[in-house]
Chain A
């Protein structure tokens, strides 16, 4: 092997560097190098965030969702509905809470809290946020923006977290089509697009219908809007129907998102 290298020193250097890489890999795997990562992220995250802002300014994303009255109305309707549902729930919980406080004499706190985080990079189905383990972020947490699903935290480092977006390749989310409430599966493609699959042939799909999470897999809470149908791919022979779907958010242009902690 070493005879094929130009010099024997190169071969030795390769072995040393391979060994060092392997040691780093093992040490990080077993002891998690939090210190160096924390320092690095403190230094680099603001740089990434500013770079992202510059990028958005240079190449402004086309937010077609805000120009589309149908989507806008759907968003408003959904948020109004969610708002009234949450107000009713708050009212109910406050009454319940008061009762419990009286009985237990303790002050409890609401279970679901949101933590705002900056989007510092979005690269092909993966969004990097500037909040991590030190701020209480854990893997599996759900990220939303404007009441719309952004994704799920898949990895966390001291001051950063990575969120798997619905468009990530191979990502599957159980959804229902509004207003007919028929179920299907939303799938991310290698091209970074979304497909609605596993919808029964008898279901009458239409363009601009909104897809929300079912909450079945317990990975995502129910009724979070994700996307809308853009084009129905008709194949009468197939068991299931398919549709090309467009996310309700332009993930690249998101500056601030909310993490459900």
Chain B
């Protein structure tokens, strides 16, 4: 367990209830699960969700359910699809945002899904450039 992640989750949850409603915690959780940190992603989805519910005054456990569902989606399909596929990242980020919004019972906004997809794309390109997604044969951008 990486302890700095706990502070990052707390910080992102705090930002989410004080400055902007953009789901930065979801971005972190999706990244963790896409990079293969299964247990961390699941534990932080649960704890981060609880922290967010306590901060925002929403029913306790609701955000945890939403985040766990998004992380489960990634974990279930990242085996099936190539992680080196940009399209997969785009779909996962926008779908993760949609799923979380729906479970939380909030109004879904396509702009937010689009922004999440763009963040997913930037993350993919950045990680590919750094060689974190695997170096064999280079990264092929399959769209």
A123/B21 in contact, CB under 8 A: yes
Q: How many residues in A have their beta carbons less than 8 Å from beta carbons of B?
A: 45
Chain A residues in 8 Å Cβ range of B62: 21, 25
B46 contacts A by Cβ under 8 Å: yes
Assuming the A-B contacts A13-B42, A25-B61, are A51 and B18 also in contact, with contact meaning beta carbons closer than 8 angstroms in the complex? Answer: yes
Chain A residues in 8 Å Cβ range of B39: 9-10, 13
Q: How many residues in B have their beta carbons less than 8 Å from beta carbons of A?
A: 37
CA distance A120 to B62 in the complex (A): 23
Distance between A139 CB and nearest chain B CB, rounded to angstroms? 11
Chain B residues in 8 Å Cβ range of A25: 59-62, 65
What's the dominant secondary structure at chain A's contact region? Answer: helix
CA distance A258 to B75 in the complex (A): 48
B65/A18 in contact, CB under 8 A: yes
Contact with B along A141-176 (1 / 0, CB 8 A): 000000000000001110011100000011000000
A114 contacts B by Cβ under 8 Å: no
B68/A28 in contact, CB under 8 A: no
B76/A4 in contact, CB under 8 A: yes
B57/A162 in contact, CB under 8 A: yes
B113 contacts A by Cβ under 8 Å: no
Chain B residues in 8 Å Cβ range of A155: 57
Say which residue of B54, B57, B111 sits within 8 Å of A36 (CB atoms). B54
The 10 closest A-B pairs by CB, nearest first: A24-B61, A25-B61, A21-B64, A28-B60, A10-B38, A21-B61, A121-B18, A17-B46, A21-B65, A4-B79
